[in-house]
Amino acid sequence: MSDQQHTEISALGEFGLIDRLTEGLTHHNASTLKGVGDDGAVLEYKDSEVLVTTDLLLEGIHFDLTYVPLKHLGYKAAVVNFSDIYAMNGRPRQITVSLGISKRFTVEHIEVLYSGIKLACEIYGVDLIGGDTTSSRSGLVISITCIGDAPKGKIVYRDGAKDTDLICVSGDLGAAYMGLQLLEREKVASAGQKDFVPNFAGKEYLVERQLKPEARRDIIEELDKAGIVPTSMMDVSDGLSSELLHICKQSHVGCRVYEDRIPIDYQTAIMAEELNMNLVTAALNGGEDYELLFTVPLSQHDAIDKLPGIKLIGHITREDLGCALVTRDGGEIPLRAQGWNHMSE
């Protein structure tokens, strides 16, 4: 959080700060009629269904500014909302950004945070249309609401999984969690040391997965091109187990997931070994991967199998068979949600 210039936020006031942060904002989407500058933004969604999702991020709970750069934080705060919209087979279109800012932040800090949010908006084609900015007594508060859309009948919910459907996941799992462990380890190692240089050699992927996750727009587009509409879908924010249990509960089905099918990057595996952690547990319960978890009818097996970056990890069963992990030796362990649950900490 070091920087050249230090402009106190009180020197600009709320409206001055908002003017500075939103200067030169342009819009990408025809659905954005009016953005920042009135009591509310104005949108138009004639021919599609509108999706709304929201995330609240609090300093000390969701992020630690000793190792999270403000620009990355802004980027991630926006992207995790986009991910929720993609997870419904939609496209993110607009966000509102509300910030609570404590006294230790300068105008320049908030500009850096905003530059990350704007970069994410640029890359994903999303319009920043408004928000609220206020002072905070303690730490940074970021609340983002994302609005998106999907053509009529194309939205994918959590409750559509059917017996015999295939369970698919994009990318790999557990890396963001291992990145967090690594960052926490280096934070502890750095305590009290000046000029400490954290050691991320050979683990850059883990750090990137934690600090700069991407939403899987590419997967949504790939499925669309292939003409595949999932029967159910979620993004993996709390961990695979937790998300799968949500889908099964809401769809009234069970599932079998195969341990040896769970996609794991080699850096994740090495880190788990270093930390003496169970790799599969980390991949099942480590959150914040923002990969897409979805189910497709069995008849789509060959079509899905051809798509890059998507792995078949199991199948849906009847509800009475429960939800279980099938281990390498053929045993079954009931799936439990022990993930990334901020309320039970």
Q: Of 130, 325, 88, which is closest to residue 216 (Cα–Cα)?
A: 88
The span from the CA of 198 to the CA of 218, in Å, is 32
Whichever of 154 and 198 has its CB closer to a copy of itself, that residue is 154
b/e burial code for range 305-338 (CB count within 10 A of at least 16 → b): eebeebbebbbbbeeeeebbbbeeeeeeeebebe
Least distance CB 188 / a copy of itself (angstroms): 19
Whichever of 48 and 275 has its CB closer to a copy of itself, that residue is 48
Least distance CB 201 / a copy of itself (angstroms): 33
The span from the CA of 231 to the CA of 197, in Å, is 47
Whichever of 123 and 155 has its CB closer to a copy of itself, that residue is 155
Least distance CB 291 / a copy of itself (angstroms): 13
Query: Residue 314: in which H helix or E strand, if any?
Result: strand 310-318
Least distance CB 289 / a copy of itself (angstroms): 15
Contact status, residue 84 vs residue 147, Cβ threshold 8 Å: no
Least distance CB 338 / a copy of itself (angstroms): 11
Least distance CB 41 / a copy of itself (angstroms): 5
Whichever of 69 and 139 has its CB closer to a copy of itself, that residue is 139
Least distance CB 84 / a copy of itself (angstroms): 4
User: DSSP states of 210-257 as a string?
Assistant: HHS----HHHHHHHHHTT---SEEEE-SS-HHHHHHHHHHHHTEEEEE
Whichever of 62 and 118 has its CB closer to a copy of itself, that residue is 62
Whichever of 45 and 258 has its CB closer to a copy of itself, that residue is 45
The span from the CA of 316 to the CA of 162, in Å, is 6
Least distance CB 133 / a copy of itself (angstroms): 7
Whichever of 42 and 298 has its CB closer to a copy of itself, that residue is 42
Whichever of 249 and 301 has its CB closer to a copy of itself, that residue is 249
The span from the CA of 210 to the CA of 71, in Å, is 13
The tokens 């009948």 sit on which residue? Answer: 153
Contact status, residue 299 vs residue 206, Cβ threshold 8 Å: no
b/e burial code for range 89-105 (CB count within 10 A of at least 16 → b): bbbbbbbbbbbbbeeeb
User: DSSP states of 265-297 as a string?
Assistant: -HHHHHHHHHTT--HHHHHHH------EEEEE-
